[in-house]
Amino acid sequence: MFALGVFTGAVLVLLVEAYIIYSLIIKDVKTMAQIIKTDGTKIDVTPQNGRDFQLSELQKVVCGYIETVNTIDGRLMIVNEEGKLKGLPINEEATKLIRNDVIVGDVLVCSRKQIR
């Protein structure tokens, strides 16, 4: 009986450690900003000031006026406001992150905290 208790305790410790590591990885992934290009390329980026993206940075990524779109996991996607009117190419990877719409052009996906 004692051996079973020790075994159960060891398994519990391993599960807690695995959960902590998993949480840290997922947290980093969700807070990391990423440019998703129409060819599927993903580029990790950080704001120039290290805290939040400025309007000029966002406009440079999307090549025009910006619009925000909520992703299914709670982040923000910055898209070109006139992208569909301009006939920008479909961004299949970015489209997978939202519901009931199609995303066009290059986009930036980031935490809400990174936009002011």
* Mean pLDDT value across residues 56-67: 98
**30: number of CA atoms within 13 Å, CB side?**
13
**Which stretches does DSSP call E strand in the chain?**
33-36, 42-45, 66-70, 76-80, 107-110
Instruction: Please tell me the predicted confidence (pLDDT) of residue 32.
Output: 82
Strands ordered across the beta sheet of 66-70: 42-45, 33-36, 107-110, 76-80, 66-70
Tell me the C-alpha distance between 96 and 111, whole Å: 17
pTM (2 d.p.): 0.73
Instruction: Please tell me the predicted confidence (pLDDT) of residue 17.
Output: 67
Contact 33, 110 (CB under 8 A): yes
Q: Tens digits of per-residue pLDDT, 77-89?
A: 999 999 999 999 9
* Mean pLDDT value across residues 16-32: 54
Residue 28 confidence class, pLDDT cut points 50, 70, 90 = very low
Residue 64 or residue 7, greater confidence: 64
